[in-house]
A and B are shown apart, each in its own frame.
Chain A
């Protein structure tokens, strides 16, 4: 079945540094990738949608200069949290659309802690 590999699973970084999270579709071409943020005991909040080779579309209220998304190929999308601050600490999850009809496959998530 469709698999999305997300790395790293956990990362701790110092305030002011940047962190890159990768999402790869392993056995299908992901025409669209979605990036979500999840707060403790909360639902998933869509941050942005990206299509291969084009600029990402950000949801209202999401800072595009802070959360840089690159979707350079049909199998790889990256989210870079720039100049991270403690309030950026969260669980980030990617999702890829492609393959089977109506199919969305989720990565395993990245727990980001900014200290």
Chain B
């Protein structure tokens, strides 16, 4: 079983400020972790993912996230917010490893990021 909790349904930052979106997960097996961004009336775009290896993952548009197993967290950060970062962000978890047929993604409820000029 797996679940995702995103703390804060709405985060507001000023342009140029640090962006921190929080994600905690639970998983009965080693997880794969994802962050997606969604703009209005569009599908989801992958920002970054953690599968194995280095726990600090760098993604597109200057975002990065760190997998912390001891804290069961995968928080998303960006040093300096840009107006174009305003969107909905979803954290997701799936069972990791190879084999098996249950590769369902479980999503958090999403965090709306607004960026103020």
Contact = CB atoms under 8 A, between A and B. Distances in A.
B26 interface: no
Interface residues of A, number: 24
Contacts, number: 51
B54 to A, nearest CB: 14
B8 to A, nearest CB: 14
A58 interface: no
Nearest to B98: A101
B25 to A, nearest CB: 14
Contacts of B28: none
Nearest to B106: A46
Contact of A106 (B32, B36, B51, B94): B36
A104 B105 contact: yes
B89 to A, nearest CB: 11
A34 B109 contact: no
A104 B90 contact: no
A71 to B, nearest CB: 14
Contacts of B34: 102, 104
Interface in B22-77: 32, 34, 36, 41-46, 49, 51
Interface string B89-117: 01000101000010111011110100000
Interface of A: 6, 32, 34, 41-44, 46, 49, 51, 91, 93, 95, 97, 101-109, 111
Interface of B: 32, 34, 36, 41-46, 49, 51, 90, 94, 96, 101, 103-105, 107-110, 112
23 contacts: A6-B43, A34-B104, A34-B105, A43-B90, A43-B107, A43-B108, A43-B109, A44-B107, A46-B104, A46-B105, A49-B104, A93-B43, A93-B44, A95-B44, A102-B51, A103-B49, A104-B46, A104-B94, A104-B105, A105-B46, A106-B43, A106-B44, A107-B43
